[in-house]
Amino acid sequence: MERAHISLGFINIYWYSIVMAVAVFAAIFLVLREAKKEKINTDFIYDIIFFTIPSGIIGARLYYVLFNWGEFQSNLLDILKIWQGGLAIHGAILGGTIFIIGYCLYKHYNPLKILDIAVVGLIVGQIIGRWGNFFNQEAHGTSVSSEFLSNTLHLPFFIVNGMNINGIYHHPTFLYESVWNIFGLILLLILRRYKKLKVGILTCTYLIWYGVGRFFVEILRTDSLLFFDIRMAQLVSLAMIICGIIGIIILRNCNFGPYCTTREEEKDEA
């Protein structure tokens, strides 16, 4: 598969870059749309978007570098070369979440409400963004037969062909995760229709849903970041699941404090 989409001689525009740009803009569009519905101050949400994206990128890069330190310790300037690859979604989620919580507390906004809005855009960005891995022929799974892809999974030819890497076919783990997130998006859209739903439940649901999906997809991945031979993505996924479950239990039984509100009550206050 040809990675370069357009060659201008001095620069190549890659499909990966195009897909990631579409993913980011789709996420931004949905976040702005959700914020408008919730009557959140426009300037505030623009600030959130403007700073969360670089915070996510920094988090994604630092996470990757931390668990691949051997690649960078002899040349620290390579840490800055993110265009060569090396971004981890768990790091992006962590970096973006830390900024959102900190900024919301500083501005006296309910961070759970903003996170509930953000996860809808985030999961859409993940659905689209995983296709960038397909065009880059990366983040794939272990080897399989072409018959498994075409006859068992009934995948279209272009995906089967794209999973042929150096003559070996691989599990399309990008597709597994993308499809899993589509169902996750549907779940979030259904849940948010309930006005009595406690603020923060959507975020907790996302943590559980994505954590479960990524935990099992990671079993098939061949490029896992390791920590003492343990797949870090699985450890982080387990942490996400546990945090999500504990968060739901706390929020469902919480009847006091400024953050123990329903979506309906938050909208009335706005």
- In the beta sheet, which residues pair with residue 143? 170
Identify the DSSP state of 138: -
Mean pLDDT of 133-145: 92
Residues 6+ apart with CB under 8 A from 173: 139, 140, 141, 217, 220, 221
Residue 61, in any domain of the structure: yes
Classify 127 in phi/psi space as left (phi over 0), alpha (psi -120 to 50) or beta. Answer: alpha
Residue 8, in any domain of the structure: no
Q: Is the pLDDT of residue 233 over 70?
A: yes
Mean pLDDT of 243-247: 96
Measured between alpha carbons, how far is 175 from 161 in angstroms, rounded to an integer? 14
Please say whether the beta carbons of 127 and 186 come within 8 A.
Answer: no
Mean pLDDT of 226-240: 91
Q: Which two tokens stand for residue 270?
A: 């706005």
3-state DSSP call for residue 4?
A: strand
Please say whether the beta carbons of 139 and 133 come within 8 A.
Answer: yes
Residue 4, in any domain of the structure: no
Residue 1, in any domain of the structure: no
3-state DSSP call for residue 221?
A: strand
- Minimal CA–CA distance to 219: which of 159, 171, 151? 171
In tens, the pLDDT along 1-59 reads 555 566 666 677 778 888 989 999 999 999 999 999 888 988 999 999 999 999 999 99
Measured between alpha carbons, how far is 61 from 198 in angstroms, rounded to an integer? 33
DSSP letters for 169-199: EE--HHHHHHHHHHHHHHHHHHHTT-TTSBT
Comparing 8-17, 52-61, 184-193, 239-248, the range with the smallest average pLDDT is 8-17
Residue 81, in any domain of the structure: yes
Mean pLDDT of 157-167: 94
Measured between alpha carbons, how far is 207 from 19 in angstroms, rounded to an integer? 24
The answer to whether the Cα torsion of 151, 219, 226, 86 is positive or negative is positive
- Minimal CA–CA distance to 196: which of 106, 264, 133, 142? 264
Q: Is the pLDDT of residue 82 over 60?
A: yes
Q: Which domain holds residue 233?
A: 14-269
Residue 5, in any domain of the structure: no
Q: Where are the alpha helices (DSSP H) in the chain?
A: 15-37, 42-66, 69-72, 89-107, 111-136, 146-147, 157-162, 173-191, 201-218, 232-252, 263-269
Mean pLDDT of 107-131: 94
Q: Which two tokens stand for residue 78?
A: 């390579």
Q: Give the total residue count for the chain.
A: 270
Identify the DSSP state of 5: E
Residue 7, in any domain of the structure: no
Q: Provide the number of structural domains found in the chain.
A: 1
Measured between alpha carbons, how far is 89 from 223 in angstroms, rounded to an integer? 13
Residue 3, in any domain of the structure: no
